[in-house]
Amino acid sequence: MEKKNLEWGNLGFEYHVTDMRYVSDYKDGKWDEGRLTADATIPMSECAGIMQYCQQVFEGLKAYTTKDGHINTFRPDLNADRIRESAMRIEMPPFPKEQFLAAVDEVVKANYAWIPPYGTGATFYIRPFEYASTNVIGVKPAAGYQFRIFGTPVGPYFKGGAKPITLCVSDFDRAAPNGTGMVKAGLNYAMSLHANVLAHSQGYDENMFLDPATHTYVEETGGANFLFVTKDGEIVTPKSASILPSVTRRSLVYVAEHMLGMKVTQRAIPFSELKDMAECGVCGTAAVICPVGKVVDHGKEICFPSGMEKMGPVIQKLYDTLTGIQMGEIEGPEGWIHRVM
C-alpha cells in the first residue's frame, strides 16, 4: 500500500483525520465485539454522561516503523491495564485487555498509509478513549459507554535538537489529595488548562506542580513525570499517590537500573532538594524525555548544571537507549516491543 504524501519530518503534534478507527459499545452490561469505521464523528445525545459530568478516560501510545520496515508498538499491555484502572476510578466499565490489544493492532494495520516511514523522526500516535454515551441528568454513572481508538501521524517532538525547557512552579494544583491525579482522565487536563495558559503567557514552557496537600514535594507537570539525576549520578523520581504512573518513566527507570547499571530511587522529593540536582527531565510518550534547564519559583531561579543548550549526559543516555529500543535498533527487555506487522 502507498504511503500518504505528507511532509513527515515537518508534522507537528496535531490531529489528522486518518482512514479508520475502532469503536465498541457497552450496552446491557457488556462490551460488543467492536468494529472499524471510516466515520470520524460521534453523534450523541445532548444529555450524554460525557457532556454533563465528564465521565471520560484515555490513553496515548505510539507505533514506530523500524529500519527493516516492520511496525511496532511499545508496551501496549501497560496502556491496556492503565485505562482499565482509570475507568474503574471514574465508575466506568473496564474495557477487556485482550480486546484492547487486538483493537490497537487493527487500527495500526488499517491506517498503514498514515504511519510515518523509518528515518523521518515522525511516529503514529494512538489515542484510545472511553466515555459515557448515554443520558445522565441526576448525578450517577451512565448505563452506556463507548470505547474508541483513533490514530494520527505526529512529527518528531524535537526538531533540530532537544532544547532544555523552563518550568514555573504553579500556585495551582493538578490533582487533589485522594483525588484522581493517578488516573488518565480528561478531567485532570480540564482543571490544569488555566495554569497552563497562565504559564505560557508568562513565557514558561510548562508548570511544575507540587504536592497538593503541602506544596513542599515535587509531583509532575501537566502531562509528564519527573526524573532527576543527582550529583552522584543517581536517578531519583518522585513517589506520590497523585502522580500518573507514566509508562515512559517506568521504562526509563528499568533501563537505568537494568541496562545502564545505575542506582534508581523512587521517593518523595522535597522541592528544596532541586538546587542540588545535576540534571532534570520530564518524560512521557510524546517526547520520551525532555530536558529541563531551569525551574522558576516565584522569581527565584533554579538552574541545573546541565544548562540551557543541550540535554545533560545522563538524560541523553537514557533518551538514546529508550528511543533505540522503540525504533528496534537496540534489543530491549523481553515483551516490550510488540510487532504489529
Ligand X SMILES: *Cc1c(COP(=O)(O)O)cnc(C)c1O
| 264-267 and 235-238 beta bridge pairing | parallel
Q: Count Cα neighbours of 231 within 13 Å in the Cβ-side half-sphere.
A: 7
Exactly one of 156, 284, 312, 332 binds ligand X (CB under 6 A); that residue is 284
Q: Which of 27, 30, 184, 310 is catalytic?
A: 184
Nearest residue (CB) to ligand X, 148 versus 184: 184
Please report how close the Cβ of residue 225 comes to ligand X at its closest, in angstroms: 5
Nearest residue (CB) to ligand X, 231 versus 239: 239
Please report how close the Cβ of residue 196 comes to ligand X at its closest, in angstroms: 12
Number of residues that bind ligand X (CB under 6 A): 13
Among 124, 133, 157, 140, CA closest to 21: 124
User: Which amino acid is it at 76?
Assistant: P
Between the CA of residue 287 and those of 113, 141, 200, 330, what are the distances in Å? Answer: 23, 34, 18, 18
Task: Cell numbers for 313, please give them.
Answer: 549526559
39-68: contacts with ligand X (CB under 6 A): 60
Q: For ligand X, what does the binding mask look like between residues 192 and 221, x meaning CB under 6 A? A: ----------------------------x-
Please report how close the Cβ of residue 284 comes to ligand X at its closest, in angstroms: 3
Exactly one of 224, 256, 322, 325 binds ligand X (CB under 6 A); that residue is 224
Please report how close the Cβ of residue 216 comes to ligand X at its closest, in angstroms: 20
Task: Cell numbers for 152, please give them.
Answer: 494520527
203, 239 in Cβ contact below 8 A? no
Q: Using the rule CB under 6 A, give the single segment among 101-109, 223-231, 259-267, 270-278 that binds ligand X.
A: 223-231
The burial of 234, by beta-carbon neighbours within 10 Å (0-12 exposed, 13-18 middle, 19 or more buried), is given as: middle
Please report how close the Cβ of residue 287 comes to ligand X at its closest, in angstroms: 9
Exactly one of 34, 49, 76, 223 binds ligand X (CB under 6 A); that residue is 223
Question: From CA 6, how far away is CA 14, in angstroms rounded?
Answer: 13
Nearest residue (CB) to ligand X, 47 versus 213: 213
Active-site residue 184, yes or no?
yes
Exactly one of 72, 285, 306, 326 binds ligand X (CB under 6 A); that residue is 285
Buried b (16+ CB within 10 A) or exposed e, 94-123: bbbeebbbebbbbbbebbbebbbebebbbb
Task: Cell numbers for 297, please give them.
Answer: 519559583
Please report how close the Cβ of residue 303 comes to ligand X at its closest, in angstroms: 24
Nearest residue (CB) to ligand X, 104 versus 244: 244
Question: From CA 153, how far away is CA 293, in angstroms rounded?
Answer: 29
296, 204 in Cβ contact below 8 A? yes
232-271: contacts with ligand X (CB under 6 A): 244, 246-249
225 binds ligand X (CB under 6 A): yes
Among 76, 52, 63, 26, CA closest to 247: 76
- List contacts with ligand X (CB under 6 A): 60, 184, 220, 223-225, 244, 246-249, 284-285
Could you give the residue numbers annotated as active site?
Answer: 184
